Every structure is written in C-alpha cells, then in structure tokens.
C-alpha cells in the first residue's frame, strides 16, 4: 500500500520537476494575470453593494441581491434579454458561416495577386469604427435620399424605412455587421487552410475528385477544428451583441426590438452613475456567457473534438 | 518585389511623420510672444480686490477641465499649461494653476474614478446637472458658502438663478459658470420660399402647415426636419412645441403644481398634429435618427425648408448657403403660437452652463476659489481672456471691438481660461455670431423649472428612463408604429414607471 | 477530362471571380467616399453633393490634420503600441500557450487554463483595476495599455490549440536527440506556427490600434493619447446643446474624413507583411512514418 502511494507521490513530484521549464515559461503571463486581473476581482462585489464613492468599494454597505431584483424587476428587462438572444442568434446563424465560405472561395482563386487584393480590401471595414459606419448606413438607407431606396423605387417598389421600422432594423444590424467583419474574420480560417498539406489535395485529384468534392472532403475537414473552436468562443460571447453598433444605429422608433441590456443600462444607468446596477447587469451577462462556453465546450468534446479546455 | 516597395513606402511614411512630429514638443517648446516687444498692455496695475490673507494661501491650484473642442487647435509647442495667455494669467493673478483635461466622452466616468481614487484636483468642471446632483448627494462635494464668503466676493456676484441651481439643502455645492443664455434655439426657415408662398407671416399652426405644404408641392422639399435623436426627441423641437404650450420638461398648472409635459394634454395635441403632418409627407421621415449635424446637412442640401437649430448651427448653414449665393435665406422664424397667440420657448440648458465642483477631499479649495476670484475681479484680465491683447488681436473702433487677423490665435485659450460671462455680447459680435443670436433673444422667454429645482431622489433615479420612454413613444405615435388611441395607456405606463412618484416628490419639495 | 467537368470548373471560376469583385466593390466604396470627402470643399460635403469624386478639390483638410500636434503624437503612440505592445503580447502568449498545450506532461494544466479563461468573463471592473494600475505606477503611461492586458485568453486558446495540432512525433524525435523543452519551443514549435503567430500578431496589433477605453481612463496627457482616442474626439465632435460659443473651432467634415483616412493607413500596411506567412504546405515532409 504505502509503497504504491509513495511511488505515486514520487512520480507526481518527478513530473513537476520535469515540467519545471513549463512553469518558468508560464510565469510572466501568470504574474501579470494575477496582478491585473485577479487582484482587482474584489470589485465584482460592487454588484452586491450600494456603491458610494466616498466609502469606496470595501466600505460600501452590502445589499445582497437587491440590484439583481431591481434589474429583473425593470419593466423592460425581459424584452431586452429576449432582444439580446434574438440578435445574437441571428448574428451567429448568418454571420458565422459567411467568413468561412468566403475564406474557402477565396482560397480557390488562382490568381495570387487578385487574391491578395481582395483580402486586403475586404478586411478594411473592420478598422472603421461604428461611429462612421453607422453614419454611412443611415445615409444609404435613408427613405428619402438613400441610394438603396432609390434602386428599390427604380425597380418599382415603395421606399423601405430601414432604420425606423422595428421589424427590419434587426436585419440592418446583422447585414452591417457581416459587411464590417467578414473579411477580417476570414483571416483565421485562411490561416487554417494554409496548414492543410498539398499532398492531400493532390491525392484527391488523383482519386478523380472535382472542385466541390475537394472542398468538401479536404478543405472543410482540414479547418474543422478551427471552426469548432471559433464557434465555441462565439457562443461564449452570446451576450455580446455589438453594444457600440447598436448604440450608434438605434433610435426611438426601434427601441422595443433593438434595445439590449448593455445599451439600456448605458442610456439609463450610466447616466445616473448607477455603478452597482451596471455591475449587476454585467455580472449577469458574464455568468450566462460563461455557462454557454462550458456547455458548448462539453458538447464539442462529446462529439469527439478537442474543445477549449 | 512588391513587398519590398511596400516596406520602403511604410518606412518613408513613418519617417515623414516622425520628422514632422519633431516640431511637436510639448515641454519647453518656444512660446510665442504676441506682444512683439510692444508694451501696449494697459495693465500695469496690480491685481485689485486681492483676497484676504494673501500670504497664507497656497498658490498652487489643480483644475480638471471639461473637454472643449477648441483646445485642439493649439499650435506646436503650446499646451494648456504652456502658452502666452496662461503665462499672462499666472503673472497677473500670482497663482500657479495646473490644468488637466477630461476626454470628450466618458467624462463623468472618469470624474467618478478620480474622486474614488482619492487623488483629486481642486476644481472639476462638470457640464451635467444630473452628475452634479449625484456627486452632491453622495457627499463627494465640499459646501462652498464659507470659502466663497471669505475668498470669492466677486464670484458671489454671479447670477442669482445660477447660484440657486447650485444650492442643495441651502448650501452652495458648486461654483456655477452661469449660462450666457446662449443656449437659445429656434426653427430656421427658408425666408425666400416663404415669400414665394405668399404666406405673410409664420405664426399660427395653420401658417406653418401651409408653408410646409407649399415647400413640398412646389419645391419638392420636406417641410420640417429636426433632431429627433436628441435626448428628448420631438419634445425638444423649439418653436414648434411652442404652439402647443409645451417646450419645458415641467409645465406649471393652474393650481401651482407641476406636471410632466411628456404626458400632458398639450403633448397629446402636439403629437397628433405632428402625426398629421407626417402622414401628409411634410415631416422628414428620417428625423428619429437625426442629430444636429444631419439637420444642418438636410438644410444645406436643400432637402428641407425648415429645421430645428441652435444659433451657431445657423451660422454654419448660412456660411454654406453663401457658397451657392444664397446667404441669408435661412432665418429663425417666429415660434409657433398657440390659439391665444402665446408661445413659450425655454432657454436651453438652464441657468448654469457648467458646474465647478470642489471635491470634499480637495487639497486646496481656498486657493482655487481665490484664484477664480482674482480672474473675475480684474476687468483687464476679463477683457484679455475674452479677446486677447489690444491692437494685437483686436482693435476698438468707436467703442466697438473688432477682431484683427490675429484674433484666431486667442481661440484655443479663451474657452478654458475665461470665467464669468460679462463679455458675451461683444464676443459674439467679434466672432460674427451676433446677427444669428440676436433675433432669438425675443423668441426665447422662459426658464424651465426642471433645470433649476433642487435635487429630488425620485427624479435623479428615474428621469433618464422616463425621458427616454417619452421620446420613444412620441416617435412611435407619430410614425404610426403605435396607434394613437393607446395614449392613455402610455400615460399610465409612464406614471407607473416612476413618473407619478417623481412628480409628487417635485411638488412636495417646491 | 470530361468536357462537362471542364465547363463546370470554368463556370465556378467565373462565378467566384465575379463574387469576389462584388464583395471588393462593396467594401471599398465607403472608403473611396470618405477619401473623396476628405479632398472636398466643406460646402459640398455638408450639402451631400460628394459621392465618389471630390468636389472643390482642396488639400486643406489634410493640411489641418497633419499640422495638428496631438494627431501626430497620437499616431506615434499608436505605432509604439502596435510594435512594442504586440511584441510583448506575442512573446507572452507563446510562452503561456506552449506549456498549456502539453496536456499530459504539464501537471496543473487544466487549473491554469481555467484561470485564464475565467478572466474572459469575470473581472473586477474599472474602479479596482484603476487603483491597481495607479498603485503599480503605470498611471498616464503607455505601458498601462500594454501590461494589464498582455495576454488575451481568446488568442491564447487559439495559439494553444495550434500547438496541440502539431504532431507529438516531432517533439519526441527532438527529445530523443537530447533537446530541452526550451529548444523544442524555439526550434520546432515556433517555426511551424508561423501562420498562427502571424495571425495573432495581427489580432493583437489591431486590438492595440482600436483600443481607446483603457486610454480614456488611464491617460490624462493628451500628447500620450493613442490614435483612436484622438480620432473619436474629432469624429464624435460634441454636437452639444449647451456650448456653442466655440463652434467655429469644431473640426469640419472634411477634416474628420481626412483624419479617419490617414489613421487607417498604417494598420492597412501590416496585412501584406502578415500574408507572406500564410504559406502552404508547411508540414510537408516533416516526419515520415
């Protein structure tokens, strides 16, 4: 008995000794992490206190779940939570595959120069902030002077009020989001595609596979693990629906369908400097995101993929 | 190959920027001296009204300024603590101020964090009344009555309304920078089109509607546009709301109590009227997403015949119209009158332009107040900070101040150095704004009690939400997204969201 | 070669090229529009008469921008951030990702991994973080924008997974030859991960380039502002209801467009460099059998 335990302990100590270079490598990042991420973590308690500037976080009184009660009691809470989920869902469904398909198609281009040009151009919108892009979209979607409606009317239709129609507005959010990020998001998939060895393609050609079959049987499996990782991470960010984008583009007419938790708090909460309420909302969102991440990670592992942890 | 040339290009670019940036040293850079050797400054007098106990006072003062876009135009080598006007102030007052600047957004958050960290300046500029209230209520501010009595004799001469707005429970909790009533605003209208239409004068509701119709039918323009995205949305259309007895956040009823304008009967009448002109196609359907900038664009691009504007915006639009030879076509119209021929347009922003907060933990509040006092008690300083040096930046012709070519050199500095507002009229004239501002003086006529009342907890907690809800529903009713017969339901919702509690508290605290 | 297949291939190519052209057009048009505005006389911009071609051609906007000292210094600051900052990010990310990818031989891997991931969701908020930054002496320094967020867990996961996808056989072969773990990292892992490193460098650089919130909180000296912070001031020029007496100093639309345009140039030049690391067939012939 004892001998086995000692052997187990010895081998644990041995493996730690062996792994000592690893600990050394990890050290700088870990130190920074602890100082700047974990030391301040006591600030999470703001959500459970009535924060008073003069008393500081530690000195402010505890109020337990009062802010959460207020949060869930807000008349608009469920509407906004629902909006968050719907918008996030729409974005995941429509926005997630786009860069993947784009990367694959881009990869199929023969002319390297053209390919590089397309890559560089399409990733530009990512760098233009929403402040500017929202202005552009408002402009081109204007029912009176916008070019999109001009085309619609030229084709015999009636002008569409994109920005002020609550049912259409979400679509505007999704489309503008795709436009902004598809080129940039494709980068990681392009990087993944380059790791697929040429031999596999050559083997497929020898087997008589045509273009589509090559894509289906070589390219897709080759990047599948990247896709899964990105999907898990994306699901983890489910509560993050583009705060800045919505803030810039939304307006009174569409609050019902487009107001999300973070924008509402920003308008109403931060203006009143309600730090505790804001913190409670943030905490709520973090918990959900965390749960989503681990759930999807678990699911991926069950399907045989490597997952994140 | 291409990569090489790209590399070279980017290196060149970086070098170019660095070389041009070499001129940008912020410390110890050469300070321009505008006097050019001439001793024209008539100020060889020593500072009058020197504060008592002069020698005991700490002359080092730290001031945190609110963001101002003009500060960005300082030439190379100069900064907010290093320029000729700053040196002038330092020399004349004997104080040693250190200025810091808040960013253009997130200012309130940054103030909170600075106060929370304990290392605060002596004065913090704050534009937002709600923020001021909040800080005062959490005990972060120093009551200033005693300090003002001892060191701020000149400062106490500022407008009564301004001080009233800074008092909480009878104590002065901030030093006001009084509004110069330049928050005046109105509806700018195409006078040339008006003349063509044959409508004699724009005053009644029917006048306005006929004018809009003319603009649409004969000119293919929208009748009216406005900044619907602004906080209060359509409730902040000055000169239009005036025709319905609206225009203030709080309306006074016959019994002396106040009610929320947002749910009043006047509001319903107004919204219904707006809905009619919207349905007729006279109202710009984009107005919910418009801010001031888009309104200016709409008017400049001649797509609308009337729009809500501040007077400085009108100057911008006018300058643009000048370029197509149509200077002066936009003028502020008489505000719409109600059935009794009356109108109310409020002074936008209230009696206080900005609140100078003094944190409770500030190290040198006495010095700060004394410094500000010194700046307003000396008329020469006041004049210099407003216009610059005589015969350099301005000349005096027959009692009128006229700008010279070098007047622009003063622009980056006056916003932050100047205290008080006695030179307002002259300044507007010098900058060319006066002609746009002057007509509005007769057209704005009330203070909104909301901008002056003491802080009320129910209001501070809920006002933003209520205001948003009102603005949102107003747009929905006008656009037809929400049927107008749900108005009473909307009023109920508004009240149950805290509207009732807030108005009761306001009336109780009068 | 069946003619039908040749025909399909040709069709596909044409379709693909057309699609790419369309996408390129859609993405570049607003860019051109902004460029046109930056070269136009202000009146035309305000009157919405500028589309893709400048009207009333003038360099004035660019002159104003390039003369502005805060703009110049903010550009330098951002360049510093994306060179030094990204460098530090990548080094630390690689150093952390490598041990975390050795699941079997690194005791505690799971614990450390969770430590990192946890911070993706939960953080103390701005107030305590501000205090810590202040107490570690980083206030008002550009390092405050580099050190606290040195490791991005998102990127860490990507790097770690990439390391994990490199076959163990390579490492084992090296160890048999007597290489230490450090050697393995430098001679095997890093050279084989060029595309991942290039990608993550880009991500970090972009994050630095776009960052403004941290600068908003920690930097008080305007000459230390990174570009994005300055840019936002210019573009979201306060259409404030209260203060109009200084409206004449507000940046014109042309200046806004010019600022925006210039500030995009450096980051756009980064990508072509990164591209050359996306090389095909890295793994070919590394280990046989």
pLDDT of residue A273: 59
C-beta atoms of B76 and C69 within 8 A:
yes
Show which residues on chain A lie within 8 Å of chain B, measured between beta carbons. Answer: 52-54, 56, 75, 138, 142-145, 161, 163-164, 166, 249, 251-253, 255-256, 267-268, 270-273, 275
pLDDT of residue A1: 59
C-beta atoms of C239 and B291 within 8 A:
yes
Assess whether pLDDT exceeds 90 at residue B494: yes
What DSSP line would sit under chain C, residue for residue? --HHHHHHHHHHHHHHHHHHHHHHHHHHHHHHHHHHHHTS-HHHHHTT--SSS-SS--SHHHHHHHH-HHHHHHHHHHHHIIIIIHHHHHHHHHHHHHHHH-TTTSTTHHHHHHHHHHHHH----HHHHHHHHHHTT-TTSGGGGTSTTS--HHHHHHHHHHHHHS-HHHHHHHHHTT--HHHIIIIIIHHHTHHHHHHHHHHHHHHHHH--HHHHHH---GGG--HHHHHHHHHT----SS--TTGGGSPPHHHHHHHHHHHHHHHHHHHHHHHTT--S-TTTTS---
The per-residue pLDDT of chain C, averaged, comes to: 82
Residue A116, chain C, CB below 8 Å: the answer is yes
C-beta atoms of B112 and A75 within 8 A:
no
C-beta atoms of C75 and B316 within 8 A:
no
CATH architecture of C76-224: Orthogonal Bundle (1.10)
C-beta atoms of A19 and C198 within 8 A:
no
C-beta atoms of B476 and A163 within 8 A:
no
Domain residue spans in chain B?
A: 44-181+351-378, 185-346+442-508
Q: List the single best residue of B29, B69, B73, B294 to mutate versus C (max C Cβ within 10 A).
A: B69
Taking only the tens place, the pLDDT of each residue in A119-141 is 888 888 887 778 778 877 877 78
Strands B96-101 and B60-65: parallel
C-beta separation of B204 from B338 below 8 A: no
C-beta atoms of A195 and C33 within 8 A:
no
Report residue C252's pLDDT band, with 50, 70 and 90 as the boundaries. Answer: confident
C-beta separation of C225 from C145 below 8 A: no
Q: B307 — phi, psi (to 5°)?
A: -160, 155
Residue B479, chain A, CB below 8 Å: the answer is yes
C-beta atoms of C158 and A229 within 8 A:
yes
The per-residue pLDDT of chain B, averaged, comes to: 82
Q: With pLDDT > 90 as the criterion, what percentage of chain B qualifies?
A: 29
Which residues are CB-contacts of B145 (< 8 A; sequence separation ≥ 6)?
Answer: B171, B172
Assess whether pLDDT exceeds 60 at residue B507: yes
Please report where in the chains the tokens 């300090």 appear, as a residue.
B147
Element (H, E) at B196: helix B191-197
Nearest to B476 among A142, A253, A272 (CB): A253
Angle at CA of residue B425, ends B421 and B427, nearest 5°: 80
Report residue B12's pLDDT band, with 50, 70 and 90 as the boundaries. Answer: very low
Which of C239, C243, C68 is closest to B414 using CA atoms?
C243
pLDDT of residue B326: 86
How far C49 CA sits from the closest chain B CA (Å)? 8
Which of B267, B233, B273 is closest to B250 using CA atoms?
B267
Strands B185-190 and B250-252: unpaired
C-beta separation of B256 from B262 below 8 A: no
C-beta atoms of B465 and A268 within 8 A:
yes
Rg (CA), chain A: 25
Distance CA B436, CA B330 (A): 10
DSSP tag of A27: H
C-alpha distances in angstroms, C237 versus B70, B249, C241, C262? 11, 26, 12, 18
List alpha helices for chain A, DSSP H: 2-18, 20-33, 56-59, 66-73, 77-95, 97-107, 112-122, 130-140, 147-154, 166-194, 198-206, 211-214, 220-236, 243-249, 255-258, 261-264, 275-302
Residue C206, chain A, CB below 8 Å: the answer is yes
Please report where in the chains the tokens 């429509």 appear, as a residue.
A94
Distance CA C17, CA A106 (A): 9
C-beta atoms of C12 and A275 within 8 A:
no
The per-residue pLDDT of chain A, averaged, comes to: 84
C-beta separation of B298 from B225 below 8 A: yes
What count of Cα atoms within 13 Å lies in the side-chain half-sphere of residue C279?
Answer: 11
Please state, as a whole number, how many other Cβ atoms lie within 10 Å of the Cβ of residue A68: 17
Report residue A269's pLDDT band, with 50, 70 and 90 as the boundaries. Answer: low
How far C168 CA sits from the closest chain A CA (Å)? 15
Q: Nearest-CA residue of chain A relative to C6?
A: A210
Taking only the tens place, the pLDDT of each residue in C257-279 is 888 788 778 777 777 777 766 65
Q: Nearest-CA residue of chain C relative to B26?
A: C223
| CA B401 to chain centroid | 24
CATH number 3.40.190.10 is the correct assignment for the domain at B44-181+351-378: yes
Which CATH topology does B185-346+442-508 take?
A: D-Maltodextrin-Binding Protein; domain 2 (3.40.190)
pLDDT of residue B259: 92
pLDDT of residue B297: 87
Residue B111, chain C, CB below 8 Å: the answer is no
Residue B422, chain C, CB below 8 Å: the answer is no
What DSSP line would sit under B360-379, residue for residue? TT-S-HHHHHHHHHHHHH-H
Taking only the tens place, the pLDDT of each residue in A215-236 is 888 888 888 888 888 888 888 8
How far B465 CA sits from the closest chain A CA (Å)? 6
Report residue B8's pLDDT band, with 50, 70 and 90 as the boundaries. Answer: very low
Average pLDDT of A229-255?
Answer: 83
Lowest mean pLDDT among A31-45, A251-265, B354-368, C12-26: A251-265
The residue that leads in pLDDT, B432 or B333, is B333
Q: B45 — phi, psi (to 5°)?
A: -75, 155
Average pLDDT of B100-129?
Answer: 84
Assess whether pLDDT exceeds 60 at residue A272: no
Report residue C240's pLDDT band, with 50, 70 and 90 as the boundaries. Answer: very low
Average pLDDT of B432-450?
Answer: 85
Domain residue spans in chain C?
A: 33-67+247-278, 76-224
Assess whether pLDDT exceeds 70 at residue C163: yes
Assess whether pLDDT exceeds 60 at residue C223: yes
Angle at CA of residue B12, ends B6 and B18, nearest 5°: 140
Q: Nearest-CA residue of chain C relative to A11?
A: C107
Average pLDDT of C217-221?
Answer: 87
Distance CA B190, CA C43 (A): 18
pTM as predicted: 0.79
Residue A117, chain C, CB below 8 Å: the answer is yes
Q: List the single best residue of B463, B465, B493 to mutate versus A (max A Cβ within 10 A).
A: B465
Q: With pLDDT > 70 as the criterion, what percentage of chain C qualifies?
A: 89
Which CATH topology does A66-302 take?
A: MetI-like fold (1.10.3720)
C-beta atoms of B140 and A56 within 8 A:
no
Q: Which residues of C touch A58 (CB under 8 A)?
A: none
C-beta separation of B376 from B155 below 8 A: yes
Distance CA B270, CA B282 (A): 15
C-beta atoms of C128 and A39 within 8 A:
yes
Q: Which residues of C touch A233 (CB under 8 A)?
A: 154, 157
B204: left (phi over 0), alpha (psi -120 to 50) or beta: beta
B60 three-state secondary structure:
strand
Average pLDDT of A237-251?
Answer: 83
Average pLDDT of A276-286?
Answer: 84
Assess whether pLDDT exceeds 70 at residue B137: yes
Residue B13, chain A, CB below 8 Å: the answer is no
C-beta separation of C160 from C100 below 8 A: yes
Nearest to B110 among C41, C131, C216 (CB): C216
List b or e across B184-222, with b for residues whose CB sees 16 or more CB atoms inside 10 angstroms.
bbbbbbbeebbeebebeebbbbebbbbbbbbbbeebebb
Report residue B384's pLDDT band, with 50, 70 and 90 as the boundaries. Answer: confident
Please state, as a whole number, how many other Cβ atoms lie within 10 Å of the Cβ of residue B350: 20
Distance CA B428, CA B440 (A): 13
Lowest mean pLDDT among A47-51, B281-285, B488-492, C3-7: C3-7
Same fold, B44-181+351-378 and B185-346+442-508: yes
Tokens of B482: 């929400």
C-alpha distances in angstroms, C142 versus A38, C50, C74, C215, C255? 21, 39, 11, 8, 27
What count of Cα atoms within 13 Å lies in the side-chain half-sphere of residue B395?
Answer: 6
Domain residue spans in chain A?
A: 1-64, 66-302
Report residue B387's pLDDT band, with 50, 70 and 90 as the boundaries. Answer: confident
Taking only the tens place, the pLDDT of each residue in B50-104 is 444 456 788 999 999 988 777 777 777 788 888 888 999 999 999 999 998 888 7
The residue that leads in pLDDT, A88 or B417, is A88
Please state, as a whole number, how many other Cβ atoms lie within 10 Å of the Cβ of residue B457: 13
Average pLDDT of A176-197?
Answer: 87
């Amino acid at each position: 008995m004892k001998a086995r335990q000692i052997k187990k302990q010895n081998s644990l100590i041995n493996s730690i000794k062996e792994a000592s270079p690893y600990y050394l490598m990890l050290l700088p990042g870990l130190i920074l992490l602890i100082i700047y991420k974990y030391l301040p973590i006591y600030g999470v308690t703001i959500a459970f206190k009535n924060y008073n500037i003069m008393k500081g976080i530690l000195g402010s009184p505890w109020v337990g779940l009062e802010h959460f009660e207020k949060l869930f009691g807000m008349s608009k809470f469920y509407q906004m939570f629902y909006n968050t989920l719907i918008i996030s869902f729409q974005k995941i469904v429509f926005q997630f595959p786009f860069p993947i398909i784009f990367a694959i198609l881009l990869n199929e281009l023969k002319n390297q120069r053209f390919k590089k040009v397309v890559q560089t151009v399409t990733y530009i919108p990512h760098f233009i902030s929403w402040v500017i892009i929202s202005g552009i979209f408002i402009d081109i979607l204007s029912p009176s002077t916008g070019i999109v409606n001009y085309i619609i009317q030229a084709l015999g239709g009636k002008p569409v009020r994109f920005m002020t129609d609550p049912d259409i507005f979400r679509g505007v959010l999704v489309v503008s989001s795709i436009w902004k990020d598809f080129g940039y998001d494709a980068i990681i998939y392009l990087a993944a595609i380059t790791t697929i060895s040429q031999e596999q393609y050559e083997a497929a050609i020898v087997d008589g596979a045509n273009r589509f079959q090559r894509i289906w049987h070589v390219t897709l499996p080759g990047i599948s693990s990247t896709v899964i990782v990105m999907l898990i991470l994306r699901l983890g960010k489910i509560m993050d629906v583009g705060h800045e984008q919505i803030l810039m583009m939304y307006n009174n007419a569409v609050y019902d369908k487009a107001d999300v938790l973070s924008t509402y708090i920003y308008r109403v909460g931060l203006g009143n400097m309600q730090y505790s309420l804001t913190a409670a909302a943030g905490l709520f969102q973090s918990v959900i995101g965390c749960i989503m991440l681990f759930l999807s990670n678990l699911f991926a592992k069950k399907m045989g993929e490597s997952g994140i942890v | 190959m291409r990569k090489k040339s790209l590399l070279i290009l980017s290196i060149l670019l970086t070098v170019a920027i660095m070389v041009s940036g070499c001129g940008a040293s912020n410390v110890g850079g050469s300070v321009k001296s505008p006097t050019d050797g001439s001793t024209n400054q008539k100020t060889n007098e020593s500072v009058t009204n020197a504060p008592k106990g002069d020698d005991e006072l700490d002359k080092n003062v730290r001031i945190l300024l609110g963001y101002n876009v003009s500060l960005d135009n300082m030439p190379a080598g100069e900064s907010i603590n290093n320029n000729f006007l700053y040196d002038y102030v330092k020399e004349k007052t004997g104080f040693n101020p250190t200025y810091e600047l808040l960013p253009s957004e997130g200012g309130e958050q940054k103030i909170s964090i600075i106060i929370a960290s304990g290392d605060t300046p002596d004065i913090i500029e704050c534009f937002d009344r709600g923020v001021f209230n909040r800080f005062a209520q959490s005990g972060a501010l120093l009551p200033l009555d005693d300090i003002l009595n001892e060191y701020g004799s000149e400062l106490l001469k500022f407008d009564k309304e301004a001080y009233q707005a800074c008092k909480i429970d009878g104590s002065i909790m901030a030093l006001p920078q009084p509004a110069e009533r330049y928050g005046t605003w109105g509806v700018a209208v195409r006078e040339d089109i008006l003349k063509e239409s044959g409508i004699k004068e724009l005053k009644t509701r029917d006048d306005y509607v006929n004018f809009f119709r003319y603009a649409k039918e004969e000119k293919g323009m929208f009748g009216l546009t406005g900044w619907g995205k602004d906080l209060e949305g359509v409730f902040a259309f000055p000169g239009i709301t005036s025709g319905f007895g609206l225009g203030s956040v709080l309306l006074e009823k016959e019994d002396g109590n106040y009610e929320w304008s947002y749910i009043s009967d006047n509001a319903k009448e107004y919204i219904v009227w707006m809905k009619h002109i919207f349905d007729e196609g006279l109202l710009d359907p984009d107005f919910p997403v418009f801010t001031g900038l888009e309104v200016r664009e709409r008017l400049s691009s001649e797509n609308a015949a009337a729009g809500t504007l501040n007077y400085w915006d009108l100057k911008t639009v006018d300058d643009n119209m000048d370029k197509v030879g149509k200077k002066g076509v936009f003028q502020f119209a008489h505000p719409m009158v109600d059935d009794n021929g009356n109108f109310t347009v409020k002074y936008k922003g209230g009696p206080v332009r900005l609140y100078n907060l003094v944190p409770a933990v500030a190290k040198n509040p006495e010095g700060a107040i004394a410094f500000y006092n010194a700046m307003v008690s000396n008329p020469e300083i006041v004049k210099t900070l407003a216009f610059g040096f005589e015969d350099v930046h301005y000349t005096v012709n027959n009692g009128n101040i006229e700008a010279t070519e070098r007047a622009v050199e003063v622009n980056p500095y006056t916003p932050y150095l100047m205290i008080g507002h006695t030179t307002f009229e002259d300044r507007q004239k010098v900058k060319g704004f006066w002609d746009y501002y002057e007509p509005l003086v007769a057209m704005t006529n009330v203070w909104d009690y909301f901008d002056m009342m003491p802080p009320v907890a129910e209001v501070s907690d809920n006002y933003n939400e209520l205001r948003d809800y009102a603005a949102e529903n107003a747009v929905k009713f006008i656009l037809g997204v929400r049927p107008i017969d749900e108005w009473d339901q909307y009023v109920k919702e508004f009240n149950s969201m805290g509207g009732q509690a807030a108005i009761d508290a306001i009336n109780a605290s009068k | 070669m069946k003619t039908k297949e040749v025909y399909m291939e040709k069709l596909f190519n044409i379709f693909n090229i057309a699609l790419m052209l369309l996408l390129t057009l859609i993405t570049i048009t607003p860019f051109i529009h902004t460029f046109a505005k930056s070269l136009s006389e202000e009146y035309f911009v305000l009157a919405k008469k500028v589309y893709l071609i400048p009207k009333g051609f003038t360099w004035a906007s660019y002159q104003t921008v390039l003369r502005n000292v805060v703009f110049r210094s903010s550009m330098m600051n951002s360049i510093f951030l994306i060179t030094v900052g990204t460098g530090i990010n990548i080094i630390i990310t690689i150093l952390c990702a490598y041990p975390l990818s050795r699941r079997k031989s690194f005791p505690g891997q799971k614990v450390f991994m969770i430590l990192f991931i946890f911070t993706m969701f939960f953080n103390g908020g701005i107030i305590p973080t501000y205090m810590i930054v202040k107490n570690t002496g980083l206030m008002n320094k550009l390092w405050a924008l580099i050190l606290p967020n040195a490791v991005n867990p998102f990127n860490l996961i990507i790097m770690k997974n990439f390391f994990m996808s490199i076959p163990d056989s390579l490492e084992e072969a090296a160890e048999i030859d007597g290489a230490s773990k450090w050697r393995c990292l430098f001679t095997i892992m890093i050279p084989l991960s060029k595309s991942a490193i290039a990608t993550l460098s880009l991500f970090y650089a972009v994050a630095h380039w776009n960052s403004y919130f941290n600068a908003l909180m920690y930097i008080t000296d305007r000459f230390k502002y990174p570009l994005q912070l300055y840019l936002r001031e210019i573009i979201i020029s306060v259409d404030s209801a209260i203060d109009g007496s200084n409206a004449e100093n507000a940046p014109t639309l042309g200046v806004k467009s010019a600022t925006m345009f210039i500030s995009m140039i450096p980051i756009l030049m980064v990508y072509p460099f990164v591209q050359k690391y996306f090389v095909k067939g890295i793994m070919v012939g590394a280990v046989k059998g």
